[in-house]
Structure 1
Amino acid sequence: MSHDPTAAQLLAAYDEQLREEADFDGALDVARHGPLWLVRLRGGRGFVTYRSLEGAGADEIRALVAAAVAHFAEDGSVREIEWKNRGHDAAPGLEEALVAHGFVAEETESIMIGPLEGLVGDGRVPEGVRVRRATEEADVRAVSAMTDRALGKEADGSRADALVALLARDDGSQLWVAEAEGSPVSAGRLTPVPGTAFVGIWGGATLPEFRHRGIYRALTAARARAALEAGYRYLHSDSTRYSRPILERSGLVAVSTTTPWVWRAGPSRG
């Protein structure tokens, strides 16, 4: 990759280095079905990813969706399945097939990629706020509950369990938190991608009443510094409409989009 890669080069690097195995973070087990990787995660979650569906027609894609749902249905513990759809993929009929199998689209996010250096200098910590790593289990669970609230969800113990287990693997993943008056108000993870120059920042969330104060920017800068110290060069992130402008100001480029399509088990499904 050149010193100043183009958006096309960054997208090519994303497809080559950041799909398939890079999506298996925290997997309990992984199965293969044609081009699909079917990943079972903690907390009763399943995840579907792939490098490409190029060449598959609408009938084949419908069959792939059906096969993925059937695979996870065999495991009674899976209560939620996410199919990660990228905007630049050629996948005729995919959205229609997902709808037909009960999947619902969540908010589309921007795939952002760029050099870590641009993020480091943009992180003045606002007065009254402390940014630090969260490592102790009770701390991690408090951060998880805050993140759920920031995303408008009920606190979910299974998500906290999954986060505790992820950090216990000691694979370089980190959880960072911003506190105000001793309580977490913003948080996000840093996840290295082994064998690449990339790290990901994930799970970023800030309580509504603390947004637009520079807290998330400071949190991102702290994670970028930690990644540079560990020898990584580039950052990737699936960014919401809130975090995208922050990353763009720091030199990251939107190379595509990603939309989580989610199936959730209901009472009628047992």
Structure 2
Amino acid sequence: MVDIAALLAVYDAQMRIPPGAVPAGVTYEQDGPVLRIVGGHMGRIRAPRDVRVTGAALDRLIARQRDYFGARGQGVEWKVRAHDLPTELPERLAAAGFVPQEPSAVLIGFAEEVAEAPVLPDGVVLRQVSEAEDLQRIAGQQTEVWGFDCSWVADDLVARVAADPGQITILVAEAGDVLICSAWAVYHPTTDFVALLGGTTLPAWQGRGLYRATLAARAREAVTRGYRLLHVDASPHSAPILRRRHFHEITTSTHYQWFPPT
């Protein structure tokens, strides 16, 4: 039996504040209990499980983050887990104009249970990339799949590679010269965790095992590097696949977003 409470405790202890190298152009600013991440395509707020302020003090904390990024002409995203405290945080964010996005399942897998040789469809090649041209192709592929502008993905990946190429593995699956699937893994030093991100497949290639293949390859690399746990904030589409691959849901997360008026 998997001890979900123990996994949640390790996650809360290790994955609340991003460890490791800070990407170029990004700065971390502490404002009381929260970390303000500045310099990306939008602002991000990360916090401990309990921010330890309530009522009017919580309203002021939220407003400071909103107004800080508003002055920069940027939106801001505050990530809230279902077990976060105080319980009034979601309603206070909503009152400040933050809009909740679709919740994700926070899933944890044991790397050794997930690692296996990736199995690919005939004619498909899986390779690791880091050059700017390939990262631009990934951004284009993600834009095509999701239907909105993902050009910022290339900038984010370029910055991560520049900050420390050893802290990220970026994979693409290609059929001839067509990029059909992309995914990456971010290694968090001093923790047990590797974060699995991206995981996007062209619609015509979905259901043919590409996501599972990139999952297996990233898990194998995690084991090789000595990491024990895999973390995914999973969409409703990918969560069933991950559950079949021995991942366990420990909570849910919701991104509350605010954008300045246009």
Q: Compute the TM-score of the two structures, normalised by the length of structure 2.
A: 0.91
Taking only the aligned residue pairs, the percentage that are identical comes to 32
Show structure 1 runs of 5+ residues with no match: none
Paired residue secondary structure (1:107): coil
Asked if 2 retains the 8 angstrom alpha-carbon contact of 1:167 and 1:173, the reply is yes
* Aligned equivalents of 2:201, 2:60: Cα separation in 1: 39
Asked if 2 retains the 8 angstrom alpha-carbon contact of 1:23 and 1:49, the reply is no
Show structure 2 runs of 5+ residues with no match: none
Partner of 2:37: 39
Residues matched between the structures, number: 260
* Aligned equivalents of 1:71, 1:24: Cα separation in 2: 24
Q: How far has the Cα of 1:171 moved from its partner?
A: 3.7
Partner of 2:223: 228
* Aligned equivalents of 1:109, 1:24: Cα separation in 2: 26
Structure 1 residues 218 and 185: alpha-carbon distance in aligned structure 2, compared to 1, 3 A threshold: same
Shifted more, 207-216 versus 99-108: the winner is: 99-108
Pick aligned residue for 1:163 from 157, 167, 179: 157
1:176 aligns to 2:171 (yes or no): yes
Which residue type is aligned with residue 214 of structure 2? L
Within-5 A mapping of 1:1-270: 5-22=2-19, 26=23, 28-43=26-41, 45-53=42-50, 55-74=52-71, 76=72, 78-121=73-116, 123-156=118-151, 158-169=152-163, 170-267=165-262
* Aligned equivalents of 1:227, 1:97: Cα separation in 2: 38
Paired residue secondary structure (2:13): helix
* Aligned equivalents of 2:22, 2:166: Cα separation in 1: 10
Paired residue secondary structure (2:144): helix
Paired residue secondary structure (2:195): strand
Q: Compute the TM-score of the two structures, normalised by the length of structure 1.
A: 0.88
Q: How far has the Cα of 1:101 moved from its partner?
A: 2.8
* Aligned equivalents of 1:92, 1:247: Cα separation in 2: 29
Q: How far has the Cα of 1:5 moved from its partner?
A: 4.8
Which residue type is aligned with residue 195 of structure 1? T
Q: How far has the Cα of 1:251 moved from its partner?
A: 1.3
Asked if 2 retains the 8 angstrom alpha-carbon contact of 1:142 and 1:184, the reply is yes
Paired residue secondary structure (1:20): coil
Paired residue secondary structure (1:121): coil
Runs of 4+ in structure 1 deviating by more than 4 angstroms, as ranges, are: none
Q: How far has the Cα of 1:264 moved from its partner?
A: 2.3
